[in-house]
Structure 1
Amino acid sequence: MNSSIENLSILVTGGGSGIGEGTARYLCAQGARVTITGRRADRLQAVAASLGERCSWLAADVCLAADRQAALQQALQHGGGRLDALINNAGITHHSGLEGLDDEALSRVLNTNVNAPLLMTQLALPALQAAKGSVVFIGSVHSRLALPGRLAYAASKGAILTVSRVLAAELGPKGVRVNCVIPGAVATEINAAASGQDLEESKRLFRNLAALHPIGRIGEPEDIAQAIHYLLLASWTTGAVLDVDGGMGLGSTKI
């Protein structure tokens, strides 16, 4: 296992908030050179400005081929022509069961959460192969638990879990490792927004969610970043599905 990620070139999609922002901050603090992408230029610029020269940013929608290419080029430029790791974090959520699902919503979720990271990985493969690098997909506890009202989202994250394992087998001989992190409930803007609540109501929601985790609290972005950091260093680990969920996936508490 390598001892440091100092000066590794890392691309984090969805890096303007939540898990992506937390990961960028954590990895930069460990000495990596991080490029963050997302659709909100103002958020990306603010994050990058706070992190200094170790972080570059580009407003890009990973659902668009031209934007994926631009994101990769930005990361390569920032990393001196090198890409050591791709963190496929960008994603959207969707609250609906079967009866509330429609073509547009299902296509949007699957395109963002499955197609885009898969195609981003395909695009980055030559650079990752040259660097003997790795890919980390961000999954979800919803791929483990059958929770009503999250059908499209659960389908997308279940696909990501499987995709990560298939790619680990496929890309291992090329020198590229692929792993997946499975978060539980994490205190992020996307979770607060999905609840349709104001700030104080969201705080109550998060307190209620803590009861679903045997460890007694919901996650913070840094909890997921620490797991990603480990996977970047673990040179003999590929095909791993790492649950970082406070025990939520155990299903031992009442939902």
Structure 2
Amino acid sequence: MRTVADSSVIVTGGGSGLGAATAAHLAERGARVTICGRRPEKVRTVAEAIGPAAAWVQADVDDPDDRARLVDAAVDHGGGIDVLVHCAGNLHAAPLAEIDEEDLVAMYRTNVISPTMLTQRALPHLVARQGAVVFVGAVDVRRVMAPAAVYAPSKAAVHRLTEVLAVELGPQGVRVSCVAVGAVATEIAVRSGALAAESAAREVEETFGPVTPLRRTGDPREVAEAIEHLAYAEWTTGAILDVDGGLGLGELEV
């Protein structure tokens, strides 16, 4: 396994939020990063801000052909693939009475099916480099939070997928872990309808800060640091690391 300063990394959902922060952080540490996203202007802006260490691809992880192009681009840019980070996600913030089957299927496709199939596509390269996969899970698996409760089962599947693939791929030298993320103001929450764009950070802080043991919400860079740790910790696999300020634990009543 290479060090971060000598590695090639794919980051999905790299046009904003956790994906953009992770790509920037790993590039600063010396990695060559290949980022993707559905909106070319967003992904290109992030890649240009990072500089020559970043390559970008307009790609929808739900599309098999786009997944193939992404893997090929990472191999061209970085000479192989050491780390695959799944930051692309779909959060549909609605109660059960208001969600329809199309919404639910789309959420599972992006959160579960697409990262599974992208991992499959990248697997030969990950085996060749004895690399790592990092999924992005959610504190919602441990602490149900309406009105996005139907989102939690999709992330529960991601947590279990992490464990299953860690066992399956470990003998091939590939490590698989997951960050279970707490309250962070990211664009996915805005697009879902859970937050207003102009007040996202304030809404998250006011809602979750008071009930988080550390009494504040998170910053995308803090999640990126945890992703880096899991990606390069050579004797760690199957880990689901809570990066949530303690939100998943709830509050101690005294």
For the structure 1 residues 245 and 18, does the alpha-carbon distance in structure 2 shift closer, same or farther, using more than 3 Å as the test? same
| SS in structure 1 of the partner of residue 170 of structure 2 | helix
CA-to-partner distance for each residue in 1:179-207, whole Å, 9 max, x for gaps?
A: 0000101121222343352414x343122
Paired residue for 2:162? Answer: 164
Matches within 5 A, 1:101-112: 101-112=99-110
1:132-181 CA-to-partner distances (Å, cap 9, x unmatched) read 00000000111111223223311110100000000000000011000000
Question: Which range is displaced more, 42-51 or 141-150?
Answer: 141-150
Deviation, structure 1 residue 51: 1.0
The residue type equivalent to 1:66 in the other structure is D
Partner residue of 1:224?
223
Q: 1:245 aligned to 2:244?
A: yes
Deviates more, 1:57-66 or 1:45-54: 45-54
Q: How many residues align?
A: 251
Matched, 1:23 2:26: no
> Structure 2 length as normaliser, TM-score?
0.95
The within-5 A match list for 1:55-204 is 55-80=54-79, 82-193=80-191, 194-200=193-199, 202-204=200-202
The letter for the 1-side match of 2:12 is T
- Paired-residue identity, %: 44
Q: TM-score, normalised by structure 1?
A: 0.94
SS in 1 for 2:57: strand
Residue 95 of structure 1 aligns to a residue in which SS? coil
In 2, the alpha carbon distance for the partners of 1:129 and 1:93 equals 31
The 8 Å contact of residues 48 and 55 in structure 1, kept in 2 or not, is answered as yes
CA contact (8 A) 2:27 2:53 kept: yes
Shift of 1:92: 1.2
1:89 CA drift (Å): 1.0
- 1-structure distance, mates of 2:195, 2:185: 15
Query: Residue 92 of structure 1 aligns to a residue in which SS?
Result: coil
Query: Deviations 1:87-144 (Å, cap 9, x if unpaired)?
Result: 0110110112222222101101000110000000011111000000000000011111
Q: What are the ranges of 5 or more consecutive residues in structure 2 without an aligned counterpart?
A: none
1:232 Cα deviation (Å)? 1.6
**TM superposition shift of 1:13:** 0.3
For residue 51 of structure 2, give the secondary structure of its aligned residue in structure 1: helix
* Structure 1 residue ranges, 4+ long, deviating more than 6 angstroms after superposition: none
Q: Is the 8 A contact 1:38 1:60 kept in 2?
A: yes
Alignment RMSD (CA, Å)? 1.5
Q: Secondary structure at the match of 2:69?
A: helix
Per-residue displacement from partner, 1:206-249 (whole Å, max 9, x unpaired)?
22121121112111110110001111221000000000001100
Aligned partner of 1:51 in structure 2 is 50
Q: Is the 8 A contact 2:89 2:188 kept in 1?
A: no
- Which residue identity lines up with residue 221 of structure 1 in the other structure? P
- Corresponding letter in the other structure for 1:127: H
Contact 2:178 2:241 in 1 (8 A): yes
Partner Cα distance (1:87, 1:231) in 2: 10
